[in-house]
Structure 1
């Protein structure tokens, strides 16, 4: 006879949590983002009118002279980035391969590949080169 399960176990989804795509460095100093810093972060939702390059400038907010010793600026950027996303952009981040991003440079590359692909840059460059004066 099959093992009896409670209704709670039967209702729970059978999902394995793989973890976030960001691989954080091991730090000796306990570190957490303050809610005041999180509220200062700009929000990016991935809609067409938003500039992904401008969003990546949120890193200015992450530079703080009061950060604990032993915590790098890169670690702060990686920790803050998920809080700056919302909607479809946040969903995109959670569906990336676990532990595929280990630095802010990796994160910037993956983010821009998604929201500012090379084809978009090429079309903008082509449009600029094709400008002609009327008279």
Structure 2
């Protein structure tokens, strides 16, 4: 039996017709059709691409390992600021904590309204890296870093291993003044060692104690005399300030014999 052209191909459903009429009045039919066509056509569009087309990266691809938080206003890093930033290459002999300290000083000089210092640091830090350190940053997974805290943590984990921290802690605990080493030089060496690992987690009391125990007998007696008999009678803060003052005075002379004589004569 041949179907006539007047016969409908499918029986109409009154409920569906009513729903379409409502959606059409609300202007949502076109949205539904567009959405369905998007998903139905995308596989075909992808399959129609040539190998050359597929090899070209999509412009919408997120290259950066840093997922920058949304700000209330745009941030522009001026070339003058970038030029002032310290550079870290990722070499074994570089002082990582000094780099972070100098980086903090530069970033703290600019305080645009409505933008935190952490947001400035997050955007400026990639410009402070070069060589192997910049390669490391580029090879991180996309969106791996979401804040300055994350960036700093990943940086420390990569370039300041736990074993290196352990070695520096041991050096701090066992530090000793070398025969012939001026008190000022010993103090500077001690401070530099402590600052090279800000995460050493050694208390102020122990730091002063390790420095004091490593002194040569002559300088230890001088500090005890300046403390009124014994350095242990001072608080850690008072002891450190006393040592710092004695070191400054000793630098004025530049001769250990003069320092000793000057203390003994008082």
> Which of 97, 108, 114 is 1:70 aligned to?
114
Contact 1:82 1:93 in 2 (8 A): yes
Over residues 15-38 of structure 1, what are the superposed CA-to-partner deviations in whole Å (9 max), with x where a residue is unaligned? Answer: 995422222111121211000000
Report whether the alignment pairs 1:84 with 2:119.
no
Q: Corresponding residue for 2:87?
A: 43
TM-score, with structure 2 as normaliser: 0.42
Partner Cα separation in structure 2 for residue 21 and residue 132 of structure 1: 44
TM-score, with structure 1 as normaliser: 0.79
Work out which of the two has the higher radius of gyration on C-alpha atoms and give 1 or 2. 2
Partner Cα separation in structure 1 for residue 124 and residue 86 of structure 2: 11
Report whether the alignment pairs 1:19 with 2:66.
no
Change in CA separation of 1:105 and 1:133 when aligned onto 2, cut-off 3 Å? same
Offset at 1:128? 4.4
Change in CA separation of 1:68 and 1:119 when aligned onto 2, cut-off 3 Å? same
Query: Greater relative contact order (Cα 8 A, min sep 6): structure 1 or 2?
Result: 1
Contact 1:29 1:68 in 2 (8 A): no
DSSP 3-state at the match of 1:44: coil
RMSD between superposed Cα atoms in Å = 3.0
* Residues 77-116 of structure 1 mapped to structure 2, 5 A cutoff: 77-116=121-160
Partner Cα separation in structure 2 for residue 23 and residue 14 of structure 1: 19
Change in CA separation of 1:26 and 1:4 when aligned onto 2, cut-off 3 Å? closer
Change in CA separation of 1:13 and 1:126 when aligned onto 2, cut-off 3 Å? farther
Change in CA separation of 1:32 and 1:130 when aligned onto 2, cut-off 3 Å? same
Offset at 1:13? 6.5
Contact 1:21 1:101 in 2 (8 A): yes
Partner Cα separation in structure 2 for residue 52 and residue 121 of structure 1: 12
> Which structure 2 segments of 5+ residues have no match?
1-47, 179-266
User: How many residues of Structure 1 are paired with residues of Structure 2 in the alignment?
Assistant: 130
Change in CA separation of 1:87 and 1:17 when aligned onto 2, cut-off 3 Å? farther
Partner Cα separation in structure 2 for residue 4 and residue 23 of structure 1: 30
Offset at 1:132? 7.6
Partner Cα separation in structure 2 for residue 82 and residue 133 of structure 1: 40
Partner Cα separation in structure 1 for residue 107 and residue 73 of structure 2: 17
DSSP 3-state at the match of 2:86: coil
Contact 2:69 2:147 in 1 (8 A): no
Offset at 1:73? 0.7
